[in-house]
Amino acid sequence: LVSDDTGNRLRFQLELEFVQCLANPNYLNFLAQRGYFKDKAFVNYLKYLLYWKEPEYAKYLKYPQCLHMLELLQYEHFRKELVNAQCAKFIDEQQILHWQHYSRKRMRLQQALAEQQQQNNTSLK
């Protein structure tokens, strides 16, 4: 018999892992091709999982883009489109482009901040 704390911890871990899997468009395509998105119980489960958008839960996510996918999965049209492998490929490519842009932008911001700090240090001397 599993205690409530152990059961809750296990449920939290399983739901956390599953929600983060939603960030993978190829996994979404896999689910769509196997008919999961046509199952009313599964669609209701996706709706239930929206609680992960709350800050107290979202802080545990390593792949925050999963929340955007979870939001899109609330729409039947999006769920239907995921059956198409080209749709999943497009989403995957867009995510990669976003990460590349974000990484370059972040690097430029960090470089500008380092230069600003260096200028501040030399002006103080």
Give the pLDDT of residue 100.
67
**What is each CA distance from 38 to 21, 32, 77, 89, 108, in whole angstroms?**
19, 8, 11, 21, 44
In this structure, what CATH number is given to the domain that contains residue 56? 1.10.10.1340
Contact 66, 20 (CB under 8 A): yes
pLDDT (tens digit, 9 = 90+) per residue, 57-114?
999 999 999 999 999 999 999 999 999 888 788 777 777 676 766 667 778 888 888 8
Of residues 42 and 114, the one with the higher pLDDT is 42
Rounded to whole angstroms, the Cα distance separating 57 from 36 reads: 25
The total domain count for the chain is: 1
With H, G, I as helix, E, B as strand and everything else as coil, classify residue 119: helix
pTM above 0.75, yes or no: no
Closest CA to 19 of 38, 89, 35, 54: 54
Q: Which domain holds residue 65?
A: 4-124
